[in-house]
Amino acid sequence: MDMKEKIEQLVDYIMKNCLWQFHSRAWDRKDQNAGVLTKATQILCGEAVELETPTDRCFWVDAVCLAEAYKSRYPWLAAMSKEEIKQIMQGLHERMDYLTITGSLNLELTDQHY
C-alpha cells in the first residue's frame, strides 16, 4: 500500500465518522482542519499538545478520538516513525484541505456571513 492509499484510508475514516471538517465557511474549515489534524499528529507522535484555550481543547477532543481510531484501525501506523507519521499527516491535511476547501464544489464556503 503506498502513501496515497494510506492517506485515502485516513481520509475515508474522517469522512465517514467526523463532522469537524464540514463547518460551513472556508475560513472555519481551514481552522478546523489545521486545529484537529495538527493536534492529532502531535498525539500520534507522542508530543505535547497545547490546551490553553477552549478552542484548543475543542480541537483536542476531536483529535484524541481521531488518533485513537487511527491507531486501532490502521496497524501500519504503529510501524511508522514520527517523521513518517508527520509526513503522512501532512499529506492528509493537504488532502482534507483540498476536499473540503480548495477543491470543494460547495458554493457557500465563500459567503462572508454566517
Binding stretches for other proteins (CB under 8 A): 15-17, 19-20, 22-25, 28, 53-55, 57-58, 60-62, 64-65, 98-100, 103-108, 114
The least distance separating other proteins from the CB of residue 87, rounded to whole angstroms, comes to 22
Q: Which is nearer to other proteins, 65 or 80 (CB)?
A: 65
The least distance separating other proteins from the CB of residue 79, rounded to whole angstroms, comes to 26
- Listed as own residue / partner, the contacts of 17-24 with beta carbons closer than 8 Å and 24 or more positions apart are 17/69, 18/62, 18/66, 20/62, 21/96, 21/100, 22/100, 24/108, 24/109, 24/114
